[in-house]
């Protein structure tokens, strides 16, 4: 059964850094695409970043230059390195994957950026 499990969220000060992890059951390269989405309280879930099997990455404009998405095949894990965090980055972050027409979501990990 395909599973995605996020971890690494927590409380961080503005300007600080966090690294989120998304552990997959089986190889992460089983996924045609993987990515990160986030949802702040009272707001819709929004796109953050994504990566393809070929290593092509994309970022939402709001995080470009601050966040980096990557994969570690040996650990079957996708990461989101978040630097220069801002209060507006506060949200629950969700791992997402697609295998052909099947879509998969993790349970989410909370990130709070506050002084």
DSSP symbols for 41-109: TTS--EEEEEEETT--EEE-TTTTTTEEEEEEGGGTEEEEEE-S--GGG-EEEEEEEEETTEEEE---E
Contact 9, 22 (CB under 8 A): no
The per-residue pLDDT for range 29-51, each reduced to its tens digit, is 899 999 999 999 999 999 999 99
pLDDT, residue 89, reads: 98
Q: What is the mean pLDDT of the chain?
A: 96
Q: Assess whether pLDDT exceeds 90 at residue 6.
A: yes
pLDDT, residue 1, reads: 82
């Amino acid at each position: 059964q395909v599973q995605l499990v996020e971890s690494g969220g927590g409380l961080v000060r503005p300007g600080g850094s966090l690294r989120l992890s998304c552990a997959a059951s089986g190889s992460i390269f089983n996924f045609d695409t993987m990515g990160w989405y986030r949802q702040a309280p009272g707001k819709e879930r929004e796109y953050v970043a994504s990566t393809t099997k070929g290593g092509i990455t994309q970022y939402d404009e709001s995080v470009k230059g601050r966040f980096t998405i990557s994969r570690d095949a040996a650990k079957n894990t996708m990461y989101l390195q978040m630097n220069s965090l801002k209060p507006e980055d506060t949200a629950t972050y969700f791992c997402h994957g697609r295998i052909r027409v099947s879509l998969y979501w993790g349970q989410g990990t909370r990130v709070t950026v506050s002084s």
